[in-house]
Amino acid sequence: MRVLVTGGAGFIGSHTVVELLQAGHEVVILDDLSNAKPSVIDRITQITDAKPDFIHGDVRDRDIVGDILTRGGIDACMHFAGLKAVGESVERPLSYYDVNVGGTVDLLEMLDLHGVRTFVFSSSATVYGDPDVVPVTEAMPTKSPTNPYGKTKLVIEEILRDLHGSDGRWNIAILRYFNPIGAHESGLIGEDPNDIPNNLMPYIAQVAAEKLPKLQVYGDDYPTVDGTGIRDYIHVVDLARGHLAALDRIMRLGGLSVWNLGTGRGTSVLELVAAFEAATRARIPYEIVGRRPGDIAETWADVSKAESELAWKAQAGIAEMCADTWRWQQHALRLE
């Protein structure tokens, strides 16, 4: 197939592009490079010996999206483009609604206009809000998320349900990610934020590389094993492979389906710090600070639905995720 991947130069998008190319698909990447670097395209080619088409642009630019689709040949769209920092979304909610919700509506309208109705959406476990019980299953009701980032994901999910309800020709996969970390085993691509990292693992890696002085741990008074937040960390390559499994499923069977993508195991912030130190022999100094707005105590996935319906299961453990992140961080330092 020929797949349009929005946000395909970013962290999760780039790893999914690698998996698509290695599976024999053709890829068109649309990315505005607001949180990615153009060198990623060359690194994808190094890994796969296949070059994706790259278009520099915004999903809200209907002229650019229309031009891609007018050329024809696009069979499906994987939609990663969007703003994703929880804390920043609390400070800048209008930007998040504009880019995430508005951009998705613009994209869907252009896809519909050109008859491309197979769509894989990058959603988030934040749509479960602060869950009453863990692990969370897809059958659990969604709640109002605790931050605007999560709210944009939930709004988009509802848009997709309404779209499918109005037109059964749409085949839609909604993938609720837990916490992607790690990097490609080659060390050529990984999470590479343009500014100070908003996510935990790249922040840990930059502290280990002495680019940042210490890690700030937001809260140690949660009702968890050590007082720090617990999340379900999944290797980004496992996550990327989940996208291909979901695409294959909806291409064969159609409809709209929702799947959690995680490992089914929870790890606290301090447990992740200890695992990183053990896997890399780097030292991670940290300080405990106040809770961050929008955070919750704990969440992890029930992944039995994805395992049974997609024949997919996360393979990598925390030690491998940490080692791959560190390999990527060391490679990134050499490129600077």
Q: What is the pLDDT of residues 220-266, one digit of tens each?
A: 999 999 999 999 999 999 999 999 999 999 999 999 999 999 999 99
Confidence of residue 331 (pLDDT cuts 50, 70, 90): confident
Report the helix count and the strand count for the chain, using DSSP H and E.
12, 13
pTM for the model: 0.96
- Would you say residue 144 has pLDDT above 60? yes
Question: Across residues 135-159, what is the average pLDDT?
Answer: 94
Is pLDDT at 198 greater than 90 in this prediction? Answer: no
Q: Is residue 196 part of a domain?
A: no
pLDDT of residue 293: 78
Stronger pLDDT, 35 or 303, i.e. the higher one: 303
With respect to residue 146, please indicate whether it lies within any of the assigned structural domains.
yes
The mean pLDDT of 61-86, rounded to a whole number, is 95
Give a yes or no: residue 26 inside a domain: yes
- Residue of 162, 151, 170 lying closest to 250 (CA atoms): 170
Please check whether residue 294 lies inside any domain of the structure.
no
Question: For residue 251, is it within any domain?
Answer: yes
Work out how many domains the chain is built from and give that number.
1
Residues forming the active site: 149
Per the prediction, the chain carries an average pLDDT of 95
CA distance 319 to 302: 21
Helices within the chain (DSSP H only): 11-22, 39-48, 62-70, 86-91, 93-96, 103-113, 148-166, 200-208, 236-253, 269-280, 304-310, 318-335
Class of residue 263 by CB neighbours under 10 A (exposed 0-12, middle 13-18, buried 19+): buried
Work out the average pLDDT over 134-161: 95
What is the C-alpha to C-alpha distance for residues 207 and 45, in angstroms, rounded to an integer? 29
pLDDT at position 281 over 80: yes
Pairing mode of beta strands 2-6, 26-31: parallel
Q: Where are the alpha helices (DSSP H) in 9-48?
A: 11-22, 39-48
Structural domain boundaries, residue 145: 2-181+233-262
Q: What pLDDT is recorded for position 163?
A: 98
Asked, for residue 107, whether it belongs to a domain, the answer is yes
For residue range 290-322, list pLDDT tens digits in order: 998 778 999 999 999 999 999 999 999 999 999
Length reported for the chain: 336
Residue 194 lies in a domain: no
Q: Is residue 101 part of a domain?
A: yes
Q: Strand 230-231 relative to strand 267-268: parallel, antiparallel, unpaired?
A: antiparallel
* Segment 205-228 mean pLDDT: 96
Task: Answer for the pair 178, 301: CB distance below 8 angstroms, yes or no.
Answer: yes
pLDDT at 153 over 90: yes
pLDDT > 80? residue 333: no
- The confidence score (pLDDT) of residue 209 equals 92
- Is the pLDDT at 7 greater than 90? The verdict is yes
**What is the predicted pLDDT for the residue at 336?**
56
Instruction: Please give the Cα distance from 4 to 56 (Å, whole number).
Output: 13
CATH code at position 246: 3.40.50.720
Q: Please give the Cα distance from 316 to 319 (Å, whole number).
A: 8
Can you tell me the mean pLDDT for 150-164? 97
